[in-house]
Structure 1
Amino acid sequence: MAQAPPTAAPEDAPATPEDALAIVEGVPIDTRHWIDGTRVPSASASTFTDHSPMDMDMDMDGAPLARIARGGPGEARAAVVAARTAFPGWAATPPAERARLLHAVADGVDARAEDLAAVETADNGALLRSHRRGVMPRVAHNFRYFADRLLALGHEDFDTRGHTNHVSWDPAGPAVLITPWNAPLMLASWKVAPALAAGSTVVLKPAEWTPLTASLLADITHEAGLPPGVFNLVQGYGEEVGAPLAADPDVCRVSFTGSVPTARRVAGAAAAHLVPCSFELGGKSPLLVLADADLELAADLAVEQYDNAGQVCLAATRILVEEPVRDAFLDRFLDRVSKLTQGDPRDEATDIGPNIHPRHVERVDGFVRRAVEAGAKAVTGGGRNTALGGNYYLPTLLTDVAQDSEIVQEEVFGPVLTLQTFPGGDDDEAVRLANGTRFGLAATLVAGDRDRAARIGARLVAGTVWVNCFFVRDLSAPFGGSRDSGIGREGGDWSFDFYCDLKNTVTAPKGWTRHG
């Protein structure tokens, strides 16, 4: 996931007693760290400011949502020590009890779904209706799924020359989970739930641009009855608190979702202690439209790539259309774009809200400006929606782009799509274009011929291929990417494989002495 890395802002300041509590959309939020079952201020007594993307202008002015405790090496170490101390007890907790507690966390999410939805929308600008109807129910589902999957976890014993092999999953130890800003609580729950289910303890470090629902999650885990130190939360900038977390010798797993450059730094820090890492790093996914496709469906799926203002790691931002249907597809696509409503994400009628931060909008706009200067044509959009404010970027489609151009090769992470074509019947060229980046997270294929779709789909480099659909995500399926899109898979038993140490116990059939 590409993003402009936040850095310390000039307005960071010493904490005051009032800084420990923020009221966002009527919801009280404690903005201190959560370490070893209690709220902890920063040892340096400093804070950083959290803004809403809805009211920030390009000068980064706007009313602050909250002042957040700013952690550093001291808070990182304290959280890891708490997780290490709590680990033996949590690992020894019977699976049924761990599952019960995870269901209690899910109950807490359900009970506070409206609060969580309102706060998340204020914090990251995604649609309130999506948070209410889809995201927060899915957060609760994530905890329930891994609770239930824990109780079903197992492998049949098997025989080797009369010896019995028994496979077991042993909890690995403290896990550091570093999560992004585009879907803060959802992506945190994809990591927190399986880690806790596996018997590992957790230190969560949320993105500094969107820390608020993670703090509410700390309250929910406490109310659900998780023992002190099992779930810990530290807040702050990546270089100040994320880096020491990844480098701590008592950490046993690191899971990170974010940008490729940051992943390289995390991997380097973890490598010193041979700590396994799981990375989900975004992509530059293709959407292939074949000549026999249902073009109404194809246009619907293409417009869906503007979801969350284009800030979706697996978005199919490169539209590849078979030449004979290029114009027919484009007419349908542009008609749908013209009907999109951009505005306040709290409004039920809004389809596209703001991007996350003025610095990120500038990054997105830079990609578009350079593409146009290089010869690309913006057939829709192409700049900021100045009528709404600095963080709103118009849904954009660029044509006349070269395969080796920056706009085709690099992740923009905004509402910007490109359109390319391939000759009719030329599957090799379609695959070449689709696979022609350093990423490999996902691919979407719209086709009428099942056999042709299967042949092309089998050749695509992607962790997930959707055929005539998009973003159908079952937690039992593996999720992750190839190439620069990441390392490892999340979901189902793959999550337990990461947060556990797998053990095979081989027992001989002879040599037993009966006692008593």
Structure 2
Amino acid sequence: MDNRNIDIAGVAISPDHYIDGRRVASAETFELFSPIDQRLLGRVSEGLDEHVDAAIRAAAQAFPAWSALDAATRKPYLDRFAAEIGKRADALCQVESNDAGVLLSRMRHGVVPRAMLNITWFAEHALTLQQRPIETEQAHHRVRHDPAGVVVIITPWNAPLMLSTWKLGPALAAGNCCVLKPPEWAPLTCSLLADAAHAAGLPPGVFNVVQGTGARAGAKLVSDPRIARVSFTGSVPTAKWIAQAAGANLVPCSLELGGKSPFIVLDDADLDNAAATGALMYRNAGQVCLAGTRFLVHERIAERFIDTMRGYVERLNIGDPRDEATEVGPIIHPRQVERVNGFVERAVAGGARLLWGGQPHPFGAQYYQPTMLTNLQQHDEIVQNEVFGPVLTLQTFASDEEAIALANGTDYGLGGVCYGAQDHAVAVADRVRTGFIWVNSFGIRDLAAPFGGIKRSGIGREGGDWSFEFFCDVKDIVVPKKPFRASFSQR
């Protein structure tokens, strides 16, 4: 075993980049700490200009051969990739739980199976995209989805394994070669992902991992003129910078950004079900972009709803994410704890009322109490801006029109939840300006369906054909049905 490896629960993780099918160390490193107990996990190679250049060069060199394969020939590589992820299931669960604070139970029962599906589903779906015919009066059209080239993928710290595979699946299945930059606060499962790709026999250069900070490795990656696409999930300020840097080279970007989604409870809702679902918004310590964080509750039922939801929240198990019984774990980093607490303190100072929570949790330094604030105005900072922690707000409304106005009254538009009698809830959901909204449910996802936001919540959609529309160059081959004769009047 390489004595430079990081050891977590007996799992050896390389701290180095993965470039052109081999591990590459850096002369510079950065420290990595666990959010569970702040212990030092190890030192990770920092991505310097030379590593970014090598990874992009390797991907560009691998692209002609990989893109020349048809989808059916690429599929066995990707099926083996998913199988290798499955073989490492226990390791991936232990490592991401320690590295990112994600619940071990959620990793085992949700994230790892979904990561495998992200690869196999898109490999299968790519088979349906070959040369779609369109018949018109004048011509036969054959529409091709050709791979774009070198793709840069940048993922966030709240779900590094799931979101990396969510992007890698369609990008690789389409015939692109990828450079993945993991989050600097939680990079280790992406290193194990490189091991899985290597064991699966993906050709050198098809998949590369460059670790490091966004300001250094990330900035160099997205501004390189050799890349063809950038897929990013993260914050709005970072997305703006990425879009400017990539835009200088006219490189298309897919940007899945923050959320400030409404959780609407109508006066004919099943209150117990709505309240139980509401407690789920504290999952992953509230570090979930698609969570409904702004509760909008009809004034006639508000007190009953608050009492019911309080009962569910009081029963939440807060603690070590490696314990299967834990339901709320730590916040990723001390800086994020400060940010979350700052939002709450400023809100209370401005007149907000705490319904529950409102301060760090005694379990540990990076744990925060599930919190709900009310007595708020629509323009308040905590109503308008993403907190990304276990902090929710509650406002009341008197009519559907008011609920819809409040729901649409932020610059975000990622997701939403609406509880009520089904026809009533659907009618309200129809008028909420957002990328998706769950009616009397939460978290139902299908890889064939579109995912993404509007306004400041992002640009583009992921899932199904939408992923391939982004990761491919769509080409129309036009063959006339009648002999064609050129004319100056032809347009």
Q: Place the TM-score, normalised by the shorter chain, in its bin.
A: over 0.9
Please tell me whether the aligned partners of residues 131 and 145 of structure 2 are also in contact (alpha carbons under 8 angstroms). Answer: no
1:388 is aligned with what amino acid?
A: F
CA displacement 1:168-199 (0-9 Å, x = unmatched): 10100000000000011001011111100010
Q: Which residue of 1 aligns with 2:15?
A: 31
Greater Cα shift, 153-162 or 350-359:
153-162
1:509 is aligned with what amino acid?
A: K
Please tell me whether the aligned partners of residues 19 and 66 of structure 1 are also in contact (alpha carbons under 8 angstroms). Answer: no
1:317 aligned counterpart, secondary structure = strand
In 2, Cα distance between equivalents of 1:293 and 1:196: 43
In 1, Cα distance between equivalents of 2:90 and 2:423: 45
In 2, Cα distance between equivalents of 1:301 and 1:454: 18
Q: Which residue of 2 aligns with 1:282?
A: 258
CA offset at residue 451 of structure 1? 2.7
In 1, Cα distance between equivalents of 2:256 and 2:343: 23
1:459 aligned counterpart, secondary structure = coil
Percent sequence identity is 53
Please tell me whether the aligned partners of residues 132 and 144 of structure 2 are also in contact (alpha carbons under 8 angstroms). Answer: no
Please tell me whether the aligned partners of residues 19 and 68 of structure 1 are also in contact (alpha carbons under 8 angstroms). Answer: no
Q: Which residue of 2 aligns with 1:509?
A: 481
Q: Which residue of 2 aligns with 1:404?
A: 379
Please tell me whether the aligned partners of residues 194 and 499 of structure 1 are also in contact (alpha carbons under 8 angstroms). Answer: yes
Q: Which residue of 1 aligns with 2:196?
A: 220
2:37 is aligned with what amino acid?
A: D
Q: Which residue of 2 aligns with 1:395?
A: 370
2:393 aligned counterpart, secondary structure = strand
2:339 is aligned with what amino acid?
A: R
Q: Which residue of 1 aligns with 2:249?
A: 273
In 2, Cα distance between equivalents of 1:350 and 1:222: 34
CA offset at residue 453 of structure 1? 1.8
Pairing 1:445–2:421 present: no
1:464 aligned counterpart, secondary structure = coil
Pairing 1:54–2:27 present: no
Pairwise mapping of residues 430-509 of structure 1 onto structure 2 (< 5 A)?
430-448=403-421, 450-509=422-481
Q: Which residue of 2 aligns with 1:315?
A: 291
Please tell me whether the aligned partners of residues 51 and 66 of structure 1 are also in contact (alpha carbons under 8 angstroms). Answer: yes
Question: Alpha carbons of 1:245 and 1:156: their partners in 2 closer, same or farther (altered >3 Å)?
Answer: closer
Q: Which residue of 2 aligns with 1:9?
A: none
2:126 to 150, 161, 180: 150
Q: Which residue of 2 aligns with 1:110?
A: 86
In 2, Cα distance between equivalents of 1:115 and 1:196: 24
CA offset at residue 155 of structure 1? 6.4
In 2, Cα distance between equivalents of 1:466 and 1:308: 19
In 2, Cα distance between equivalents of 1:454 and 1:334: 26
Greater Cα shift, 360-369 or 67-76:
67-76
1:462 is aligned with what amino acid?
A: T
Question: Alpha carbons of 1:190 and 1:352: their partners in 2 closer, same or farther (altered >3 Å)?
Answer: same
In 2, Cα distance between equivalents of 1:262 and 1:352: 27
CA offset at residue 454 of structure 1? 2.2
Pairwise mapping of residues 249-398 of structure 1 onto structure 2 (< 5 A)?
249-385=225-361, 387-398=362-373
CA displacement 1:483-509 (0-9 Å, x = unmatched): 000000000011011010000111023
Q: Which residue of 2 aligns with 1:203?
A: 179
CA displacement 1:77-99 (0-9 Å, x = unmatched): 11111111111111001211211
Please tell me whether the aligned partners of residues 126 and 173 of structure 2 are also in contact (alpha carbons under 8 angstroms). Answer: yes
In 2, Cα distance between equivalents of 1:119 and 1:158: 48
Q: Which residue of 1 aligns with 2:487?
A: none
Coordinate RMSD, CA, aligned = 1.3
In 1, Cα distance between equivalents of 2:423 and 2:132: 35
Greater Cα shift, 156-165 or 212-221:
156-165
Q: Which residue of 2 aligns with 1:237?
A: 213
2:341 aligned counterpart, secondary structure = helix
Pairing 1:177–2:153 present: yes
In 1, Cα distance between equivalents of 2:66 and 2:188: 26
2:394 to 406, 409, 419: 419
TM-score (norm 1): 0.92
2:24 to 8, 26, 40: 40
Question: Alpha carbons of 1:244 and 1:462: their partners in 2 closer, same or farther (altered >3 Å)?
Answer: same
Please tell me whether the aligned partners of residues 380 and 395 of structure 1 are also in contact (alpha carbons under 8 angstroms). Answer: yes
1:20 aligned counterpart, secondary structure = coil
Please tell me whether the aligned partners of residues 19 and 67 of structure 1 are also in contact (alpha carbons under 8 angstroms). Answer: no
Please tell me whether the aligned partners of residues 223 and 246 of structure 2 are also in contact (alpha carbons under 8 angstroms). Answer: yes
In 1, Cα distance between equivalents of 2:62 and 2:459: 28
CA offset at residue 74 of structure 1? 1.5
TM-score (norm 2): 0.97
1:409 is aligned with what amino acid?
A: Q
In 2, Cα distance between equivalents of 1:452 and 1:132: 37
**Structure 2 gaps, min length 5:** 485-491
Greater Cα shift, 196-205 or 155-164:
155-164
In 2, Cα distance between equivalents of 1:431 and 1:380: 26
CA offset at residue 443 of structure 1? 0.8
Query: Paired residues, what number?
Result: 484
In 1, Cα distance between equivalents of 2:272 and 2:180: 42
Greater Cα shift, 287-296 or 343-352:
343-352
Q: Which residue of 1 aligns with 2:488?
A: none
2:6 aligned counterpart, secondary structure = strand
